């Protein structure tokens, strides 16, 4: 009796171990992977509704999801030390592309973001979303932390240069992401609070001086509109007014999947892309949105856990920065849709229609998984 | 020497990281809670309100484009108005396949490639929910055809818009300018919200220079729309603020006379009121029909206009740069008197040519036989070159440059129109800077008779003449007299502005030169005596003939035309009546031949029209 139960137990354990090694061999972090799959599925579901039940759009987006997951899987196989070795090269490459975009970039949608490579068009700022945290983490990897002021200055420049190039395109949303990804590395590296405070104290009067003397009246007007879009009901404010009606009319329980009225009757602009969260809120209500936010938060918690478990400075800083930037990503989008942040034009990660940014995000998660699954197992 | 080496402390770094990561997590959760708070506010507290807004009826916001200000001449003649016209417009977001829709539309309505190209350019600049015009000025048949097929085109609609119209067609087109469809560049420079419902923008002339005054402020209409897209009620409406009307200083009648007097010639006329700088007429011929630009030109017509040898689009009055020829002589004469280089009694002997000492080159007078003994009065009246060769040699380029600058030569006049050119008043510095060469004395002689590097615009010549007429008051030329509130019709008059005042040690010098200019027209041997014989008022004037220095290598001219286009430009400046000048005129006729034969009669017709007409017309 005892023997057989023992055997059953052994068998179960063996199976578990085999499963463990199989998953380990795939280099996937199961909790994170599961959450991402659920999120993407939710995304496809809501896109189907937002697009007016357009099967073509659904198919196109599904293909993008598959490509993005493939990219993630591919990245997860690359050990972090390789990624670290490439960091400066990727960064330099990306920075030169940004300069190229500003000089020869094709003008699309009134902003110079795209580089036409003949076969396909490529947005170098997407590359920089990964390259900047990689570069700054690389810079701190072998240095003693917390960083000295001189080191902070260098790291700051590595962040600011691409940020300014992208802001000039102008792509404000991406500039915000790239700037924060660099700053997160600085903060996670242990930048002293004293330094943080002094930088802030320095920036405030500079900003005021620029506002008073460096700007024309019409530019100030544009900044004010930007900060308070509801004053501009024919521009950015139009989105906010419509999205507030959509969200508010959803109530606690929502109108149900495919039953959103605001979004389906052409009142809500950009409902498949930047403003898809309003469609979600209208259809799934407060309960649905809280569940969605919890799902996002779970991903952030898991990401921070992976960062904290990482075994060297580079991995730790890179993982931490990537996951916090992901937080900024969805927080800025949702904040903009619910009308508490300015409209900067960022998609809702993994849910909004569109492929480029999704691939970048999943590459980031691929790196996180690589960091988590290439750890050397240490005796406890 | 001791260098401090900080070693990596892994344990400390890990602890530091954990602390920071924990803090980041706390902040993330806190920020998410803020979002949740906002959602609670919208979805629980505001739920009823938003539900009402969304229930069966939905809110739509549309821009109400303001009515563009009208343009009148100084006597109330309407120069630019707005007429209703139909256009077909598309909301890209509501259209599934834009290309197919446009192709299908073009079976009902004539749409050419230019329309499509422009549509796509504007579309990229505007949000996807904005209504973007595809074609303007549909005829009634097209409107009817579309109306029948409207159900086939969701997101496409006919809009009635006010379109700019210039009732006098080609009249004063270089002064008024025109509006045209907004392009990408312009859209980037204006407030996109204020132009949300606007399709046209001032491109040139007064329409461009006063765009922000003419345009007005956009209005907003919040309307409830049912599921079928029908407007149920207007929730809120902020009326648009119409643009201000403009009252120009232009006199439409005088403008007509000026354009008629120029006739088929290429040329320009600027007539000013010397007492205020008011531009009474600003003509540049040939002209073109500005209404074509409002409707949108096809590439072919535009190409023809642009490549025409006669350059109808070129504003000669503001941008044409011509050698002033002999019209510069009164000013050089004034300089001679003011700097005491000559007296009124001084005589120079003119044998028909002039040479600098030590140089065998002969600078010729236009009159081969010479003028004999010549004083200033005779030199101006008969346009003696040798007298002015000698005088400018005595003055030197530095004094000439300093003196002529006071009259506004070589500088922008500051007229309230865009695109004016400064032309060129040469100086030693300029030559060193541009040509990296010193100034040669021979060049001073040529400048003294208005040739060589010297260039002026017709507008500059007119302001300088006006300064002469007022004995030193240099008023900034202005084309807008007043702004008018479209509702109250209250006038906001723009006061004239003096740029600078030319003051002389001896004010008699003015009288001397003006007397000489009077002799040009009324003297027995004056160069423009032909127009003075039967004049009912006294005119002071000066003829000029400017050489054309051949044509550029890369330009191709028709064989027979070469001679015609190499002929001299004819110039004439004048003001009248001499005792109390009310009008100052500059006339340039390209390749007109002689100033006295061609340009002076044009000026006479204009002055006759203005000074001899029934005073009833001058309502102001």
pLDDT in tens, B419-433: 899 999 999 999 999
Known catalytic membership, residue B326: yes
**Better-predicted residue by pLDDT, B129 or B283:** B283
Which among B28, B30, B56 is the top mutation candidate for probing chain A, defined by the most A β-carbons within 10 Å of its own β-carbon? B28
> What tokens appear for A63 in the block?
């293909």
**Better-predicted residue by pLDDT, B12 or A231:** B12
**Better-predicted residue by pLDDT, B231 or A64:** A64
Contact assignment for A235 to B127 by CB distance below 8 Å? yes
Q: Which residue of A has its CA nearest to B26?
A: A301
Distance from CA of A267 to the nearest CA of B (A): 7
Q: Which residue of A has its CA nearest to B60?
A: A267
**Better-predicted residue by pLDDT, B227 or A235:** A235
Contact list in A for residue B7 (CB cut-off 8 A) is 144
Stretch A52-56: mean pLDDT, rounded? 84
Convert the pLDDT of each residue in B290-308 to its tens digit.
888 887 777 788 888 888 8
Euclidean distance between CA atoms A230 and A227, whole angstroms: 9
Q: What is the CATH number of domain B252-292+311-612?
A: 3.40.710.10
Q: What is the CATH number of domain B61-248?
A: 3.90.1310.10
Distance from CA of A275 to the nearest CA of B (A): 13
Contact assignment for B54 to A187 by CB distance below 8 Å? no
Which residues of chain B from 119 to 148 reach within 8 Å of chain A, CB to CB? Answer: 124-125, 127-129
Which residues of chain B from 11 to 50 reach within 8 Å of chain A, CB to CB? Answer: 12-14, 16-18, 20-21, 24-25, 28-29, 31-32, 34-36, 38-40, 42-44, 46-47, 49-50
Distance from CA of B126 to the nearest CA of A (A): 9
Q: Does B53 touch chain A (CB under 8 A)?
A: yes
> How high is the pLDDT of residue A118?
45
Q: Which residue of B has its CA nearest to A321?
A: B21
Distance from CA of A161 to the nearest CA of B (A): 25
Please determine, for residue A380, whether its predicted confidence score (pLDDT) is greater than 60.
no
Q: Which residue of A has its CA nearest to B185?
A: A110
Contact assignment for B129 to A266 by CB distance below 8 Å? yes
Please determine, for residue A100, whether its predicted confidence score (pLDDT) is greater than 60.
yes
Q: Which residue of A has its CA nearest to B48?
A: A249
Please determine, for residue B513, whether its predicted confidence score (pLDDT) is greater than 60.
yes
> What tokens appear for B24 in the block?
């980041």
Q: Does B308 touch chain A (CB under 8 A)?
A: no
Contact assignment for A143 to B129 by CB distance below 8 Å? no
Contact assignment for A145 to B8 by CB distance below 8 Å? yes
Out of B290, B326, B383, B594, which one is annotated catalytic? Answer: B326
Contact list in B for residue A304 (CB cut-off 8 A) is 21, 24-25
Contact list in B for residue A110 (CB cut-off 8 A) is 124-125, 184, 188
Where in chain B are the domains? 61-248, 252-292+311-612
The candidate with the shortest Cα–Cα distance to B290, out of B135, B195, B167, is B167
Convert the pLDDT of each residue in A203-222 to its tens digit.
888 888 877 776 676 667 66
In this prediction the ipTM stands at 0.88
Region of poorest pLDDT, from A114-128, B475-489, B491-505: A114-128
Convert the pLDDT of each residue in B323-344 to its tens digit.
999 999 999 999 999 999 988 8
Q: Does B212 touch chain A (CB under 8 A)?
A: no
> How high is the pLDDT of residue B543?
94
Contact assignment for A269 to B6 by CB distance below 8 Å? no
Check: CB of residue B56 under 8 Å from CB of residue B227: yes
- Whole-prediction pTM value? 0.65
Q: Which residue of A has its CA nearest to B44?
A: A251
The pLDDT-based confidence of A273 (bands split at 50, 70, 90) is confident
> How high is the pLDDT of residue B3?
54
SS (H, E, C) chain A: CHHHHHHHHHHHHHHHHHHHHHHHHHCCCHHHHHHHHHHHHHHHHHHHHHCCCCHHHHHHHHHHHHHHHHHHHHHHCCCHHHHHHHHHHHHHHHHHHHHHHHHHCEEECCEEEEEECCCCEECHHHHHHHHHHHHHHHHHHCCCCCCCHHHHHHHHHHHHHHHHHHHCCCCHHHHHHHHHHHHHHHHHCCCCHHHHHHHHHHHHHHHHHHHHHCCCHHHHHHHHHHHCHHHCCCCHHHHHHHHHHHHHHHCCCCCCCCCCCCCCCCCCCCCCCCCHHHHHHHHHHHHHHHHHHHHHHHHHHHHHHHHHHCCCHHHHHHHHHHHHHHHHHHHHHHHHHCCCCCCCCCCCCCCCCCCHHHHHHHHHHHHHHHHHHCCCCCCC
> How high is the pLDDT of residue A297?
95
């Amino acid at each position: 009796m005892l023997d057989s139960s023992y055997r059953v137990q052994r068998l179960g354990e063996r199976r578990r171990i085999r499963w463990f090694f199989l998953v380990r061999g795939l280099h996937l972090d199961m909790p994170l992977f599961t959450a991402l799959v659920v999120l993407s599925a939710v995304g496809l579901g809501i896109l189907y509704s937002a697009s007016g039940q357009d099967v073509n759009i659904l198919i196109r987006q599904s293909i993008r999801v598959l490509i993005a997951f493939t990219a993630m899987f591919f990245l997860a196989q690359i050990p972090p030390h390789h990624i670290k070795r490439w960091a400066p090269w990727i960064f330099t490459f990306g920075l030169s592309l940004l300069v190229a975009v500003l000089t020869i970039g094709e003008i699309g949608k009134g902003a110079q973001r795209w580089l036409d490579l003949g076969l396909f068009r490529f947005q170098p700022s997407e590359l920089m979303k990964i390259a900047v945290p990689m570069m700054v983490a690389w810079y701190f990897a072998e240095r003693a932390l917390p960083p000295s002021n001189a080191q902070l200055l260098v790291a700051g420049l590595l962040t600011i240069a691409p940020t300014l190039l992208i802001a000039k395109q102008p792509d404000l949303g991406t500039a915000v992401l790239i700037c924060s990804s660099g700053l997160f590395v600085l903060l996670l590296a242990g930048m002293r609070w004293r330094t943080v405070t002094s930088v802030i104290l320095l920036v405030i009067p500079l900003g005021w001086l620029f506002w008073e003397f460096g700007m024309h009246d019409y530019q100030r007007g544009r900044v004010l509109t930007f900060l308070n879009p509801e004053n501009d009901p024919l521009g950015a404010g139009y989105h906010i007014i419509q999205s507030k009606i959509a969200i508010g009319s959803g109530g606690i329980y929502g109108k149900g999947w495919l039953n959103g009225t605001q979004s389906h009757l052409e009142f809500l602009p950009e409902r498949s892309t930047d403003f898809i969260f309003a469609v979600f809120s209208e259809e799934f209500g407060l309960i649905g949105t809280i569940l969605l936010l919890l799902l996002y938060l779970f991903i952030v918690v898991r990401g921070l856990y992976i960062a904290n478990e990482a075994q060297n400075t580079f991995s730790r800083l890179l993982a931490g920065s990537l996951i916090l930037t992901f937080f900024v990503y969805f927080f800025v989008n949702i904040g903009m849709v619910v009308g508490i942040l300015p409209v900067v034009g960022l998609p809702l990660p993994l849910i909004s229609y569109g492929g480029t940014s999704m691939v970048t995000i999943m590459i980031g998660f691929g790196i996180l998984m690589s960091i988590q699954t290439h750890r050397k197992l240490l005796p406890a | 020497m001791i260098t401090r080496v900080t070693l990596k402390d892994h344990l400390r770094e890990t602890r530091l990281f954990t602390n920071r990561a924990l803090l980041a997590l706390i902040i993330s959760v806190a920020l998410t809670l803020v979002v949740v708070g906002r959602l609670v506010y919208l979805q629980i507290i505001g739920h009823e309100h938003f539900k009402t807004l969304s229930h069966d009826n939905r809110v739509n916001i549309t821009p109400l484009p303001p009515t563009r200000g009208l343009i009148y001449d100084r006597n109330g003649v309407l120069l630019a108005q707005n007429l209703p016209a139909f256009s077909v417009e598309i909301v890209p977001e509501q259209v599934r396949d834009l290309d197919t829709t446009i192709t299908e539309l073009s079976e009902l309505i004539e749409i050419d490639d230019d329309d499509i190209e422009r549509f796509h350019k504007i579309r990229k600049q505007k949000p996807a929910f904005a209504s973007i015009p595809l074609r303007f000025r549909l005829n009634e048949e097209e409107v009817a055809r579309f109306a029948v097929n409207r159900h086939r085109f969701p997101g496409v609609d006919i809009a009635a818009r006010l379109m700019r119209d210039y009732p006098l067609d080609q009249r004063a087109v270089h002064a008024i300018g025109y509006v045209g469809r907004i392009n990408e560049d312009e859209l980037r420079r204006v407030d996109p919200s204020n132009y949300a419902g606007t399709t046209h923008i001032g491109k040139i002339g007064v329409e461009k220079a006063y765009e922000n005054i003419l345009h007005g402020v956009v209005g907003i209409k919040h309307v409830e729309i049912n599921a079928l897209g029908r407007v149920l009620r207007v929730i809120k409406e902020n009326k648009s603020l119409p643009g201000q009307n403009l009252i120009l200083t232009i006199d439409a009648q005088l403008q007509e006379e000026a354009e008629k007097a120029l006739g088929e010639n290429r040329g320009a006329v600027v007539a000013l009121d010397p007492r205020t700088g008011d531009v009474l007429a600003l003509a540049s011929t040939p002209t073109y029909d500005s209404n074509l630009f409002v409707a949108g030109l096809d590439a072919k017509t535009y190409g023809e206009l642009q490549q025409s040898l006669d350059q109808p689009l070129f504003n000669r009055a503001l941008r044409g740069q011509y050698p002033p020829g002999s019209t510069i002589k009164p000013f050089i004469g004034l300089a001679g008197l003011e700097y005491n280089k000559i007296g009124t009694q001084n005589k120079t002997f003119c044998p028909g040519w002039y040479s600098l000492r030590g140089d065998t080159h002969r600078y010729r007078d236009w009159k081969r036989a010479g003028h004999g003994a010549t004083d200033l009065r005779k030199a101006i009246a008969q346009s003696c070159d040798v007298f002015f060769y000698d005088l400018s040699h005595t003055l030197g380029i530095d004094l000439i440059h300093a003196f002529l600058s006071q009259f506004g030569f070589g500088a922008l006049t500051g007229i309230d129109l865009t695109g004016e050119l400064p032309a060129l008043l040469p100086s030693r510095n300029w030559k060193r800077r541009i040509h990296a060469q010193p100034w040669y004395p021979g060049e001073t002689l040529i400048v003294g008779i208005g040739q060589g590097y010297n260039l002026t615009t017709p507008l500059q010549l007119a302001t300088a003449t006006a300064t002469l007429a007022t004995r030193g008051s240099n008023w900034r030329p202005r084309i807008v007299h007043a702004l008018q509130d479209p509702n109250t019709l209250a006038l906001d008059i723009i006061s004239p502005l003096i740029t600078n005042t030319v003051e002389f040690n001896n004010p008699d010098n003015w009288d001397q030169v003006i007397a000489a200019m009077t002799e040009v027209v009324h003297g027995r041997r004056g160069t423009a005596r032909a127009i003075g014989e039967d004049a009912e008022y006294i005119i002071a004037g000066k003829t000029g003939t400017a050489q054309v220095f051949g044509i550029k290598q890369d330009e191709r001219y028709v064989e027979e035309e070469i001679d015609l286009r190499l002929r001299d430009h004819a110039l004439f400046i004048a003001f009248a009546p001499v005792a109390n000048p009310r009008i100052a005129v500059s006339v340039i006729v390209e390749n007109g031949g002689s100033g006295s034969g061609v340009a002076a009669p044009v000026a006479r017709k204009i002055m006759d029209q203005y000074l001899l007409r029934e005073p009833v017309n001058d309502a102001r």
